[in-house]
Amino acid sequence: MDLNELLRPEAVIANLKANSKKQALQELAERASEICGETERDIFDTLLQRERLGSTGVGNGIAIPHGKIVNLDGLHGLFARLDKPIEFDSLDDQPVDLIFVLLAPEGAGADHLKALARVARLLRNNEIASKLRATTDATALYSILTHPQASPNAA
């Protein structure tokens, strides 16, 4: 699965300003609502509920908040590079500055897991993560995320 199937150019935020995990999730839910057509409240509640099960901060400054929404029409991704790192209760206790939100329909099953694994492999690639951190232009970020060299075996 290529990220250009999940991520549209308008779903990339180059300099998200947030002071907390909750604020970041709120801002991301607002943008995701515009992209996928679901209510901001439903998206925020879904992401928050998932965080209560355990942090989606996977380490190395990366978080992958995700969840399933009943009437969603397909998989949707949203990427944000934070203006400054925030506390996210990550597995390695490090602050987060790269967030990829993944939303899936209730019945997505394996597709949701495959997309989640694809995003995790990509963002764990140190070279790609460094490029994302060094870029403040949304178009360039989208290009880095969806470029064919960002292959699953690059991690």
Catalytic residue (choose from 66, 76, 112, 147): 66
Element (H, E) at 130: helix 126-134
The per-residue pLDDT of the chain, averaged, comes to 92
Query: What is the mean pLDDT of the segment spanning 29-48?
Result: 95
- Residue 78: inside a domain: yes
- Residue 127: inside a domain: yes
Instruction: Tell me whether residue 76 is one of the annotated catalytic residues.
Output: no
Task: Write down the pLDDT at residue 151.
Answer: 46
Query: What is the mean pLDDT of the segment spanning 24-30?
Result: 97
Task: Write down the pLDDT at residue 149.
Answer: 58
- Residue 123: inside a domain: yes
Write down the pTM of the prediction: 0.93
Domain of 38, CATH number, reads: 3.40.930.10
Helical pair 126-134 and 138-146, crossing angle rounded to 10 deg:
170
- Residue 63: inside a domain: yes
- Asked if the model's pLDDT at residue 154 lies above 70, the reply is no
For residue 24, the enclosing domain spans 3-146
Q: Using one digit for the tens of pLDDT, what is the confidence trace for 69-108? A: 988 999 999 999 999 999 999 999 999 999 999 999 998 8
- Asked if the model's pLDDT at residue 152 lies above 60, the reply is no
Considering its fold, how many domains does the chain have in total?
1
- Residue 153: inside a domain: no
Percent of the chain with pLDDT over 90: 85
